[in-house]
Chains A and B, each alone.
Chain A
């Protein structure tokens, strides 16, 4: 590296790339979630949650502990603005066909008997997320998705009230989590991988991630 570095937000948050990949575009093979192209509001909420004790990850907390709202917003906007191609998703899985079918059913239809909405009801028909606050669920590592779903089950991941995903997450069993995470991880990215601008119908639950929705 030269003796002077460019004064850009990308350079200032270069520390993030050690885990999240260059420009936050990590693949779905490991653990760390991709940041590039995620909804800005979602990224901001997660950064603030790590800082304020609603999400727990020792490394992430150490990163954002002493940051202001303004800086977190700038960081979130930066990663959200990156429009980078997704690496090819490995669609092979060691999960059984039964498990994958169950995961698909949960993701696409939910389980109304247990009050579990379909993932698509909030995360978009193509599961690529919704602006400004709901993340996409595909193109992410299976390990990451299952650990996040597990964190709701064990009350280790929170959002501001109303914490919609906590309510859904608590209804899942570990078998549900394995099934849905396995299926999501095998889904190729659609031609348009970007979060959609809005949902066709209102959210089925009140959610702090989408403050305009009631």
Chain B
């Protein structure tokens, strides 16, 4: 009896210590907030810089719904754990950031904690934003406060138990999040450092182009080696592997063109990256886009990215895929997959066509889409959706044909892959 009581006491002490540890880890580096919104002095220059930085961070990508008031929140972010709704960032007292001080905003950006003390879900990418400087945070704050207030109450998250509890989030943060700052590398040029600051901080590129562990935390050490987009079934290709989306061997002007206009001599953006260009990178200054390009070009080359394995091709599938190709695809992409420069991408020799995973190809065939209309490419060409005329079997056949023709040498696409939703 006394022995089991001792064990119980020991367990309680251990649990108490663990809880205290979790709390301490959640509070590290935080200072008490003492300022009020009125203590902040804004200037038109600061507001303008904040507007620009909010574009660099693509804040509107989540915090503005289609057709909704700017930065009034409401877009649902689907995660494997449930849906988190982006909050209202307009200066409305009741529903937005009206009562938030500059320090409270900074604490959210840097520490991932809300004004009322609640921990924020990392769907808000504060593991990246923690590197944003206080100056930049203040500028964004100044800009958000300049917006017209929109009274849109925040939508409660719809997460499954236990992910919907603050306790679970506290444990997650103790394990997966540490507030940090961007530390410039003195050995690297200023341009590279600026690119690193944007990519690793506000740009939060790793949120898609990085991998996540079972807890949904970004695996920082693996860098921009690519990752699956949760739920959407798009694949953000590796930026370290030239076989996927690495740009190490691209002329720098093509990287700049891609980010500024959505298209380049080497390739174009589609899917979620089209949205990033549309909402964010097309608006960046030439110097900042050049800095991002310099940083991306200098990423270490990963030659180990999985290669599509050539399998024996099924002649019947190839014949069927070829017929579909002639009927649906050849009009634009050409009889030999040669495409038309500036209008329709070549499929022959296209690395995006031959990536190990056909996920993006399946999405492209089903949904089509236009390139983003940007200042540099204001009247883009587009591709029709084929999801209503090609069934899963057809999509698998035509993609198998494309991946195995005109010198392309990538694995066939299976019905199992196209049937996945």
Q: In the complex, which residues of chain A have a beta carbon less than 8 angstroms from the beta carbon of B388?
A: 19, 59
Q: How far is the CB of B128 from chain A (nearest CB, A)?
A: 23
Contacts known (A15-B383, A62-B367, A66-B371); A71 close to B378, Cβ less than 8 A: yes
Please determine whether A63 and B368 come into contact, CB atoms closer than 8 angstroms.
yes
Number of interface residues of B (CB under 8 A): 38
- Convert B44-76 into 0s and 1s, putting 1 for each residue whose CB lies closer than 8 angstroms to a CB of A: 000000000000000000000111100000000
A100 vs B331: C-alpha distance in the bound complex, in angstroms? 42
Please determine whether A59 and B343 come into contact, CB atoms closer than 8 angstroms.
no
Please determine whether B378 and A53 come into contact, CB atoms closer than 8 angstroms.
no
Whether, in the assembled complex, B406 has its beta carbon less than 8 Å from a beta carbon of chain A, the answer is no
Q: Which 10 residue pairs of A and B lie closest in terms of their CB atoms, listed nearest first?
A: A52-B67, A18-B384, A53-B66, A66-B372, A15-B382, A66-B278, A53-B67, A59-B385, A15-B384, A62-B367
Whether, in the assembled complex, B216 has its beta carbon less than 8 Å from a beta carbon of chain A, the answer is no
Contacts known (A9-B379, A52-B67, A68-B378); A59 close to B368, Cβ less than 8 A: yes
Whether, in the assembled complex, B78 has its beta carbon less than 8 Å from a beta carbon of chain A, the answer is no
Contacts known (A62-B368, A66-B278, A71-B378); A2 close to B67, Cβ less than 8 A: no
Whether, in the assembled complex, A97 has its beta carbon less than 8 Å from a beta carbon of chain B, the answer is no
A97 vs B68: C-alpha distance in the bound complex, in angstroms? 45
Interface hits, B160-207 → A, CB 8 Å: none
Contacts known (A9-B379, A62-B367, A66-B371); A4 close to B385, Cβ less than 8 A: no
Q: In the complex, which residues of chain A have a beta carbon less than 8 angstroms from the beta carbon of B341?
A: 3-4
A5, A14, A16, A71: the one contacting B373 at CB < 8 Å is A71
Question: Can you give 11 A-B contacts (C-beta < 8 A)?
Answer: A1-B331, A11-B381, A13-B382, A17-B384, A18-B328, A59-B388, A63-B369, A66-B262, A66-B369, A66-B372, A74-B379
Q: In the complex, which residues of chain B have a beta carbon less than 8 angstroms from the beta carbon of A171?
A: none
Please determine whether B370 and A15 come into contact, CB atoms closer than 8 angstroms.
yes
Which A residues fall within an 8 A CB radius of B?
1-5, 9, 11-19, 51-54, 58-59, 62-68, 70-71, 74
Please determine whether B373 and A66 come into contact, CB atoms closer than 8 angstroms.
yes
Contacts known (A3-B340, A5-B340, A66-B275); A16 close to B384, Cβ less than 8 A: yes
Q: In the complex, which residues of chain A have a beta carbon less than 8 angstroms from the beta carbon of B370?
A: 15, 63-64, 66-67
Q: How far is the CB of A60 from chain B (nearest CB, A)?
A: 9
Please determine whether B380 and A12 come into contact, CB atoms closer than 8 angstroms.
yes
A63 vs B328: C-alpha distance in the bound complex, in angstroms? 17
Whether, in the assembled complex, B356 has its beta carbon less than 8 Å from a beta carbon of chain A, the answer is no
Please determine whether A52 and B66 come into contact, CB atoms closer than 8 angstroms.
yes
Whether, in the assembled complex, B274 has its beta carbon less than 8 Å from a beta carbon of chain A, the answer is yes
A171 vs B6: C-alpha distance in the bound complex, in angstroms? 74
Q: How far is the CB of B72 from chain A (nearest CB, A)?
A: 13
Please determine whether B278 and A2 come into contact, CB atoms closer than 8 angstroms.
no
Contacts known (A53-B66, A59-B388, A71-B373); A15 close to B334, Cβ less than 8 A: no
Residue of A nearest to B386 (CB): A18
A2 vs B387: C-alpha distance in the bound complex, in angstroms? 26
Please determine whether B65 and A53 come into contact, CB atoms closer than 8 angstroms.
yes
Whether, in the assembled complex, B332 has its beta carbon less than 8 Å from a beta carbon of chain A, the answer is yes
Interface hits, B389-410 → A, CB 8 Å: 389
Contacts known (A5-B344, A68-B378, A74-B379); A63 close to B385, Cβ less than 8 A: yes
Q: How far is the CB of B366 from chain A (nearest CB, A)?
A: 9
Please determine whether A19 and B373 come into contact, CB atoms closer than 8 angstroms.
no
B344, B373, B386: the one contacting A67 at CB < 8 Å is B373
Please determine whether A4 and B367 come into contact, CB atoms closer than 8 angstroms.
no
- Convert B249-266 into 0s and 1s, putting 1 for each residue whose CB lies closer than 8 angstroms to a CB of A: 000000000000010000
A51 vs B65: C-alpha distance in the bound complex, in angstroms? 11
Please determine whether B387 and A59 come into contact, CB atoms closer than 8 angstroms.
yes
Contacts known (A59-B388, A63-B382); A1 close to B65, Cβ less than 8 A: no
